[in-house]
Structure 1
Amino acid sequence: MKKVFAIILIMSLPLIAKSQLTVSPELELKIKDKRNFSEIMNLVNKHYNDLNFKENKKFYSEYKKWNRWAWWASRHQNARGEVDFSTTINMDEALNRTYESSQNFNSNTGNWTSIGPRSMSWHGSPGSKGIGRIDRLAAHPTNPNIILAASPAGGLWRTDDGGDYWYSISSNLPNCGIGGVVFDNQDPSGNTIYILTGEHHGGNYFISNFGFRSYGVLKTTNGGAIWKQLGNSGIVMSNATSSFKLIQLTGSPNILLAVTNIGICRSNNGGLTWTYVVNSSFLRDITQHPTQSNIVYACYLNDVIKSSNSGETFLESVSIPSFSGTQNSLLATTPSNPDEVYFAVCGSTNRIYKSTNKGTDFSLINSTDLVGGQYWYNFALAVNPNNNNFIAVGGLNISISTNNGTDFTTTTSGNVGLPAPANYVHSDIQYLLIHPINNLIYAASDGGISVSADNGVTWVDKLNGLQCTAYYQMDGWEGDPNRYIGGTQDNGTHTTTNGSDMYYSGSGDGYSVSFATSNVFYQVENTNIFKYTINTATRSFIGNGIPAVNRKFFPNIQVHPTNSNILYVAYDSTTWKSIDAGSTWTSISSTFGVDGSKGQFVRGGLAVSSNAPDKVLLASWNTIRQSNDQGTNWTTISGTTGWPANLGFITDISMNQANANEIWVTASSTDSIAARVIYSGDSGATWVDFTASLPNIPVYSCVVTDDGDVYIGTSQGVYFMDFLMNDWVPFYNGLPIVPVTDLFVNTTNGLLTASTLGRGLWKTDLYTDCQTFEPLIGAIEGRYRYQASGTIESTQSMLGSYGNNLAYRADTKIRLLPGFKIEEGAYFHGQIAPCGQGIFNVKKPLPSSSK
């Protein structure tokens, strides 16, 4: 599932990045040079099953990351089953393709508003409360209240009050990883900012060397209202799949240095031109001497290199002993003793080295394992700018030294009981910032941002306004338009009963969720199933009746539509049913396991319909099975008349709640000719390919209304179709460019809700027919499409920022009145054509600054 710009997968090893996923030498030998998803996962599954992963916390954590990878990678395969992102598209090309493929526009093509979460409260469940992962932080050089925070799929966030409230300054940009963020040191206002695109774990937090390639360095001079791509950075960095750090030299502000998994990329003219000065896939960090900007340090996984000419050339250190087994490395300097350099590594080897002579010589100062596991993933290092004796290291938790690294004490706890202790900080620390002005410690973690004002003794969450939650699935309650639940990555299950206040209701990786009543729902936590009661905030494990060997990661769950005591759970090769709310379980799929050659993690959907309450649909890989008696008997309905041979990997399945004969199926493939949406109106006897002219992007979710209208969630947003149309309608006005992982229709209230992988939950009114006359006013930013069956009149304006685009379509007339303005850098498209029908092709962006 992911986005419109560059959907790519480079799997190194060659397919899996050893530095990102834990790969033992034994496993590495088995998967090396393999590209086939099923072959890789079969080997991974056997490896961790042989290690009895459930009895070992380390192996369990590693295997969970692999299953995250599998969830993503399974949705990005070609016709041969290979994980494949061979089509690389730069940003401008991707936006143009979006316009060309987004062919129909509606006057009400969505009116999306955010549900949140914007904050998070404990609600009876211990664990690791959080809102979403933050990877990078940056402090304004003179104003201690201004901080920037970068999330791996939710963009860039800013606070002007020290973290009490955060707001997005990149919502019009395609959601992508940000590996580096820098305040321009020549702009005291803090409005000039550089960001290095590309997620630093490589793969949009699915922990593998795949995902969005970097589209270079972007710059804003007005606080994020307008972003511009700098020079040729998008071209030069287009092959980078991990972005680690961006710096601007203090004494030479036109010199920018970026570290990616390709090497060190340098610009000496403020970003106009870029070139790689060091080529290596093992570089991880870069920093500069605090007072001599011509001196720059960078590090490999096991060595430090130094430049004395502002990054033009680098020489290796010869004083660090040779060692192996490292999975991550970081650097730090401090103005309190500017000639010192700190070099930290972690993995099977854990060491902190220190140089007191500008990197000429290094000595070992600590060899304690301060990270505690997941070395490839969570690692942070900071030295107090005003006190070199104070060093903080982040891993699973945070450890602090007050004697220059000789001794460390773990000061935080990331998985806690209730009431939460004062030292609670969500586990998995990604970045540490010790503010040079007020000495506050800011910790970026998988749960968000925490701040300590007492040198790390006590901490306070600073989550208000952050809308960066990654949801896998969600559910709503028909009788209450404000009642939602959602399963998240790293932050458990979230619940809201009023549509705004969000509560932490389960730990680990939340996944599938399903309401039983308005007060009771079922949830998945990693491999396990729980029952949660909202009004008492109580949770109980209900999976004891399912053998542990069958409880694999991320099953789908679904409650019977008319009997809340009946629950279905679909694991990778077995499906289970309970008739007593989870007290006991019966296997209902023992007669058909998953094809062993397909690998684990192939459940593509589980669907029921209140129109035929005992009917169950189960999708796995590219096969659909149907039962009309709660799973006692099954028939295969895939492969029948009209079933496309080129159907991708099935990602979701939905039945009409008013007519269970109507079935919609979504699929994902990297092949441009693959079928990605199919329909049956006769319970699978025949099928019709409804892919039409959808862009060649993954489709992850679908939902059908009682009237037979269908909405699909894609890597670029939501699309709509009814049977009076001959193609899909973009339905994402106001929605960030973000993968839509699940959809829910509230028929009573006419609402559509979407869960996203990086921007939380969103809602909109359902589709309405085109209006004869559509007057448009006001300033807008982002992606907007409008359509009318007669005339559009507009005085709208749009700034010329990267990612801004506007499109009109009308049957008879489009009138651009005085005040209408599209600035250079944005895109505008207009066409006279029938509303909701035909193809809308756009070939070129707006050529001038005002039209």
Structure 2
Amino acid sequence: MKKFLFIYLLFSTFVYSQVEDKYDSKKTDLPYWVQEMYSETPDPGKIELLYNNYYKENKFIKNKHTQYYKRWKRSLSREINTEKNSITPRKIMNLNLPEWECVGPFDFDRNAASTSYAAGAAHLYTVEQSISNSNILYAGGATCGLWKSLNKGLQWIPLFETELMINTVYSLEIDFTNPDIVYFSADDNLYRTINGGNSYELLYEMSFIKDIVMHPNNTNILFICSEERLYQLNISDNNLETLVFGDVLELEFHPTNSSIIYIVRQIGNKTEFLKSINSGETFDIYDSGWPSPNSNDEQLRTEIAVTLDNPNRVVALATGSANGGSGLYGIYVSDDQGENWEFRCCGVQAGGVPSETNMNLMGWSHEGLDDGGQYYYDLALAINPNNADNIHVGGVNHWVSNDGGYTFTCPSKWSWAADSENTKYVHADIHDIKYYNDDLWIACDGGIFYSNNLGDTIHQRMFGIAGTDFWGFGSGFSDGDVMIGGTYHNATLLKDNDTYIQGDTLEGTNELGGWVSVCGGDNYRGFVNFGDNRKVYLDEWGSGGGYKLSGDRTIPLEGFSMSVLSNASYTTGESSNLEFDPRCFNIIYIGNNDILYKSFDNGYSSIPIYDFSEKVTSIEVGWDNPDIIYVATYDGYWSEKNVWRSEDAGQTFVNITPTFPGVVADDWIPFDITVSSENANHVWIARCPNSLSYSSYDGSKVYKSTNGGENWTNITGVGLSGENITNIEYLRGSNDGIYLGTRKNVYYKNDTMTEWILYNNKLPLSTYSTQLVPYYKEQKLKNGTNRSVWEVDFYESPTPSAQIAADKLTINCMNDTVQFVNHSAMSTDNASWSWSFPGGNPSSSTEENPLIIYSNEGLYDVSLTINDISGSDNQTILGMINYTNNPLTMGGFDCDGTCQEGFMNTVLILEDSYGDGWNGNSLSIMVDDILLTQQTLSNGYYDEINLCIPIDINTCVEIIVQEGGWPEEVSWSIVNENENEVLSGGSPFYNQLYENCPIYGCTNSDAINYDPDANNDDGSCCFGEFYTIVMEDSYGDGWNGNTLVVGNYELELEEGSNEEEIICLEGDLSCFNVVCDGGDWQYEVSWIIYNPQGNIVLSGGAPYDGCFLEGCTDPIACNFNIEATFDNGNCLYPDENGDCENIILNEYNINTNFYTISDLLGRNINQSESQYIYIQNNNGKITKNVIFK
């Protein structure tokens, strides 16, 4: 069934390739994952597997293919069904539903401390300034639709966001005489507004529109460049005419002669320049000096520009690959209206290997010294209308020439945002550059930038545009004005109340309450600690995994290290959340690769508690019973996804995945989980497709269980038709109220409702919900989206739901103070708290977050009663606080800070050669399998930490360094009181301090894998032979349910194209049964069985039913085995007397000494019928072979 999904996947790939052409797609030396990605029917699962395997063996270096992969994978998860919702905006308003409001980001505070080196806040494709009114502008976004400014970009307002289900506006044109008339493209449609955005009309449906150009002398005539043809549209008589067939990239008019039109068309592996001298009636190709790649190269995109300062000049910015280099193909200039072209930059030929004399203007380097770039994705060109030699080029960087295109300089690298004295910063990936007299506008992946002095100083001009595309999002529980999220293109966006300003220092955009762009790259994560809202969690760029907020835009954020980071991906359903124990804000569950980790110290150290052998994604911990944990897993793009439940705090898990037909039919769809705060057995799962949904999904989207997943009820209903769910969130204090985020909407349902209600009043019609976060204090629902962050009042006011929490649950004489926090779901309206702390000091409190001291060892109960305008609730947690002076819980220290008896005082020296901390590397000391301490270098070059280590040589003390990023920079040593080195090393590392720890292995000397050093048997003993099984799938998506049974082993290739398993086969002389069957697409299945010597003993495919046995296959040998299928080279032959082991057949009494005599085929014979006979015992096993002389 999975193969039929390519009908959609091909469409998705086609849609994405409209924006970005494939790079070097005809080359045969590309990595396999790139070749598959550029194929006609790319399979995301196969590409994902090939990509991951490739970068296991090769160092990751960002390049044009990896960037294409990232954008392509994202596009699969963001495709939407563009049919309009059954409930119109007017009907929604009539339901009196609360209205959504955007809370930013609208811009970013570039000059704040800790700002990202690549700061940005929105992703824009185009910006246009009105010719008749320079204060009016329109802009088109990649995810956020159409925008308008009335004050030259100082503030922007959205157009049609609740009327049109559009995200991408790639091209637009403003009427030269009337700024209220605007034409724009979206979703392969051509629209028009004639009243400045009050209303719109759909003019035509056509293929992807790349450029819209109005006739300079007739505002009723438009020229439309599409991927299929060049159109001329006469608005006055509604006449649409085709002028040129083919993929037309752009069009320019001669600045003083409107009869002359220039266009660029892509055909084959190149572009063509065409010119019309009769207003478009006919076009001719002019190729004298124009780029002409050979068959092994390509040149697929060219931008052209003209200037009033030299009307006959045309400049062409050509990109592609040639002569061993890629990126800039060349800057070409014609001074005779395109009749002849001169190659001007860079170097002496097209393309070529970048160097100081052959700069690549499309790469990431501001010196032009790196190859490649994203030249089919980001490309822009403009010429100063008053100076034909002043040329601006946009790629990853902004480049400027002042000599007509012979030489270029980069005034500011894309990664220099953090330099507050840099007045020319432009975010990376420039899509549009336009001159309007002295006004210079740039649209890029970070927003809109503007200069009124030819680029000498450049400012942000995007305030108001809600275009931040969040990949991850989190908001504070106790302070909802702390928000953070990793974003596409724009690093991590952070809001800390009124700490940051709204944009740069331009008038009108410097109010407080803004956002700052921190870290770097395309980031995924965003979480806020529920008990300490000054701690946020993000990607590791420069932070180590977390930041402590400063509350002052002039003070840098302080990073702290996470020992492991949560899984994160471009693909919906493949990321993991940070899940806090509801009782303690320093206890975190983290899904990292296939392992569920638990941290007791805010992620600084982490303990692996369960290995699922599948990537951990959604995690939920029971509120009323934290021993109950739910986990969703993701084993691969097309692999079966699962849901698990633990009742013992993660020590064991059982699979509780629903088995409804709709779930089984598309079992590759990932899950998101949410759980009731009142009853941990009440759990909901939402199925969140990682590409567009399919027919079986429509009635199989949301399930509920009231018994911990033993049984499930389908609660999808009909109200979610056409929706693709992205996340699910429980509303505490409600009647099992559930919010659903989808790729375009939000829904709500509680147990009293028969259907889901569409909850999107004033929310843009196409808004991808990355993560919903309830903010109970203000009764708001926050929504991190592809259009910034939105919030709305709850559908209903929940009753209070009490929850006690603290900074720690175990204390001792060195650490006897507990910070309790109110983790209750309640409004601030008429809020009150009443705490009880028997045995604590004070023993009661009415503060929201009291600080309590304990003096004696023991277990202590805690109680809390809360009240707000909607009611009251209470909770008591028995034995919540455990006061113990156990040496291991105190790290070996005594109450006075010295080492306890039986421990020695040592110093751990941590060093990092680069000076940015250990980047996820961590050192753990285990004592008899219990974690004594885990340490890391959060930042800097050097740190010293006092440690207490057991001195009993009979104790098992293990030193383990877990590898993180850049392990080659890590070094450490442990020195004792006399400054003598005890142990030292790097990363990764393992050693025992006293070499007496358990050594696991086979302890039976009769086994073939006996380990004389082992002192603990691990059950691995083999008393037969080890065989290697190689399983392969020609398609690369696993065996689709087929299994291979070999003896007592059942094996399966669950995903990917190959896998190896080693098994132990034991037995006498019987043939080992081999069966392969049970699934789909059997022609893709193959397998090989190798013996210990590396010889193939059997191979096959599916279906298969047979057996194999190694032995002597020579019929004349004494030890011939009639059942052997593979000769092992151990045949024994008769002696010189012609018998085996002195056995003479004539001396045998058949009736008493053996059961039968048979020939080679097992047929009973008389002695005279065959030269070779075989003696079998009464179990049917061959014991001897005898030769007649």
CA–CA separation in structure 2 for the residues paired with 1:651 and 1:291: 60
SS at match of 2:45: helix
- Per-residue CA deviation, residues 522-542 of structure 1 (Å, 9 max, x unaligned), is 113689961011126425363
* Correspondence list, 1:33-182, <5 A: 33-53=40-60, 56=61, 58-59=62-63, 62-63=65-66, 65-74=68-77, 94-95=83-84, 98-99=86-87, 107-121=95-109, 122-172=112-162, 173-182=164-173
Q: Which residue of structure 1 lines up, in the alignment, with residue 467 of structure 2?
A: 468
Mapped contact 1:512–1:556 kept (Cα < 8 A): no
Displacement of 1:376: 2.1
Question: Aligned in 2, Cα 1:12/1:379: closer, same or farther, shift over 3 Å?
Answer: same
Gaps of 5+ in 2: 1-7, 321-325, 347-358, 364-372, 499-512, 635-640, 798-1189
Residue 132 of structure 1, CA deviation: 0.6
Post-superposition CA distance 1:292-338 (Å, at most 9, x none): 22322221353212233433443222211411333532111112222
Are the equivalent residues in 1 in contact too, given 2:130–2:174 (CA < 8 A)? yes
Cα distance per residue 1:156-210 (max 9 Å; x no partner): 22222222222223333323211111111232xx11111122xxxxxxxxxxxxx
1:771-823 Cα deviation digits (max 9, x unpaired): xxxxxxxxxxxxxxxxxxxxxxxxxxxxxxxxxxxxxxxxxxxxxxxxxxxxx
Change (3 A) 1:294 1:72: same
Q: How far off its partner does 1:72 sit? A: 4.1
Confirm or deny that 1:681 pairs with 2:706.
yes
| Helix, strand or coil at the partner of 2:304 | strand
Please, which moves more after superposition, 715-724 or 527-536?
527-536
- Structure 1 residue 227: deviation in Å? 0.8
Amino acid at match of 1:357: D
Question: Secondary structure of 1:73's partner?
Answer: helix
Q: Corresponding residue for 1:82?
A: none
In structure 2, C-alpha distance between the alignment counterparts of 1:387 and 1:276, rounded to whole Å: 35
* Structure 1 residues 16 and 355: alpha-carbon distance in aligned structure 2, compared to 1, 3 A threshold: closer
Instruction: Tell me if structure 1 keeps the 8 A contact 2:575–2:618.
Output: no
Is the 8 Å Cα contact of residues 152 and 176 (structure 1) preserved in structure 2? yes
Match of 2:36 in 1: 30
Range moving further from structure 2, 567-576 or 397-406: 567-576
Whether the aligned pair in 2 keeps the contact of 1:196 and 1:258 (CA below 8 Å) is: no
- Shifted more, 724-733 versus 29-38: the winner is 29-38
- The correspondence for 2:200, drawn from 224, 227, 246, is 227
3-state SS of paired residue (2:467): coil
1:848 aligns with none
Report SS of the residue matched to 2:86: helix
Listed as ranges, the matches of 1:717-736 within 5 Å are 717-736=745-764
Which residue in 1 is equivalent to 2:277?
A: 308
Q: Quick one: higher RCO (CA 8 Å, sep 6+), 1 or 2?
A: 1
2:261 to 296, 300, 304: 296
Number of the residue aligned with 1:412 = 412
Q: In structure 2, do the counterparts of structure 1 residues 626 and 523 end up closer, same or farther at CA, with 3 Å as the change threshold?
A: farther
Q: Which structure: larger Rg?
A: 2
Pairing 1:184–2:175 present: yes
Gap change, CA 1:713 and 1:180, over 3 Å in 2: same
With over 3 angstroms needed to count, the CA separation of the structure-2 counterparts of 1:577 and 1:310, relative to structure 1, is: farther
* Structure 2 partner of 1:557: 577
| Aligned partner (choices 321, 329, 335) of residue 302 of structure 2 | 329
Match of 2:980 in 1: none
Aligned-residue offset at 1:682 = 2.1
Within-5 A mapping of 1:423-502: 423-436=424-437, 439-498=438-497, 500-502=513-515
Secondary structure at the aligned position of 2:423 is classed as coil
Task: Give ranges in structure 1 of 5+ residues lacking alignment.
Answer: 1-6, 77-84, 198-212, 595-602, 770-851
Which residue identity does 2:253 align to in structure 1? Q
Equivalent in the alignment of 2:527: 514
Which moves more between the two structures, 334-343 or 401-410?
Answer: 334-343
Following superposition of structure 1 onto structure 2, how do residues 258-277 of structure 1 map, counting pairs within 5 Å?
Answer: 258-270=224-236, 272-277=238-243
- The answer (yes or no) to whether the contact 2:784–2:790 under 8 Å persists in 1 is yes
Preserved contact between residue 105 and residue 729 of structure 1 (Cα < 8 Å): no
**Cα distance, 1:112 vs structure 2:** 1.0
Corresponding residue number in structure 2 for 1:10: 11
TM-superposed deviation, 1:589? 4.9
The change in CA–CA distance for 1:171 and 1:71 in structure 2 (over 3 A counts) is closer
What is the CA-CA distance between 1:68 and the residue it aligns to? 4.3
2:182 equivalent in structure 1: 193
Query: How far apart, CA to CA, are the structure 1 residues paired with 2:595 and 2:243?
Result: 53
Flag the 1:570–1:311 CA change in 2: closer, same or farther, 3 A.
farther
Supply the distance in 2 between the matched residues of 1:396 and 1:541 (Cα, whole angstroms).
31
Code of the aligned partner of 2:191: L
Amino acid of the residue matched to residue 233 of structure 2? S
2:47 alignment partner, SS class: helix
The number of residues matched between the two structures is 705
Partners of 2:124 and 2:15 in 1: how far apart?
Answer: 28
Matches of 2:414 and 2:181, distance apart in 1: 35
Deviation digits for residues 546-584 of structure 1 (CA, Å, limit 9, x no counterpart): 79xx98778433141333333344355454443333333
User: Offset of 1:419 from its aligned partner?
Assistant: 4.4
Task: Find out whether 1:251 has 2:217 as its counterpart.
Answer: yes
The answer for the alignment partner of 1:625 in structure 2 is 644
**How much has 1:754 moved relative to structure 2?**
1.0
Report 1:339-418 matches (<5 A): 339-347=312-320, 348=326, 349-367=328-346, 368-372=359-363, 373-416=373-416, 418=418
Contact 1:134/1:151, CA 8 A, preserved across alignment: yes
Residue 636 (str. 1) matches residue 655 (str. 2)? yes
Instruction: Tell me, in whole angstroms, the C-alpha distance in 2 between the residues paired with 1:606 and 1:325.
Output: 47
1:67 partner SS: helix
3-state secondary structure, aligned to 2:318: strand
Following the alignment from structure 1 to structure 2, what is the Cα–Cα distance between the partners of residues 123 and 403?
A: 38
Change (3 A) 1:503 1:101: closer
| Aligned match of 1:712 | 740
Q: Could you state the TM-score of these two structures normalised by the residue count of structure 1?
A: 0.76
TM-score by length of structure 2 reads: 0.56
2:683 equivalent in structure 1: 663
Conserved 8 A contact 1:164-1:462: yes
Distance 1:224 1:662, change over 3 A: same
Call closer, same or farther: CA 1:253–1:314 in 2, change over 3 Å.
same
Note the 1:736-755 alignment, pairs <5 A: 736-737=764-765, 738-755=767-784
Aligned partners of 2:695 and 2:542: how far apart in 1? Answer: 34
Q: Give the secondary structure class of the aligned counterpart of 1:670.
A: coil
Q: Which amino acid aligns with 1:701?
A: N
How far the C-alpha of 1:364 sits from its partner, in A, is 0.9
2:546 is equivalent to residue 531 of structure 1: yes
Counting aligned pairs with the same residue, the percent is: 24
Deviation sequence 1:442-492 (CA, Å, 0-9, x none): 221211112223332332222322221111232222222333222221112
Q: CA distance change for structure 1 residues 476 and 280 in 2, over 3 Å: closer, same or farther?
A: same
Cα drift, residue 705 of structure 1: 0.6
Quick one: distance in 2 between partners of 1:645 and 1:527? 43
Please identify, of 395-404 and 427-436, the stretch whose mean Cα deviation from structure 2 is larger.
Answer: 427-436
Give the Å deviation of 1:365. 1.6
Opposite residue 467 of structure 2, the aligned amino acid is C
Provide the residue aligned with 1:840 in structure 2: none
Report the equivalent of 1:80. Answer: none
Mapped to 1, the partners of 2:89 and 2:432 lie a distance apart of: 39
Contact residue 133 and residue 447 of structure 1 kept, 8 A: yes
Which secondary structure state, in structure 2, belongs to the residue aligned with residue 381 of structure 1?
Answer: strand
CA shift at 1:619, angstroms? 2.2
Preserved contact between residue 119 and residue 463 of structure 1 (Cα < 8 Å): yes
Rounded to whole Å, the distance in 2 between the matches of 1:49 and 1:271 is 61
Q: What corresponds to 1:820 in structure 2?
A: none
| One-letter code aligned to 1:540 | G
C-alpha displacement at 1:278, in angstroms? 3.2
CA contact (8 A) 2:9 2:43 kept: no
8 Å contact 2:299–2:319 — kept in the other structure? yes
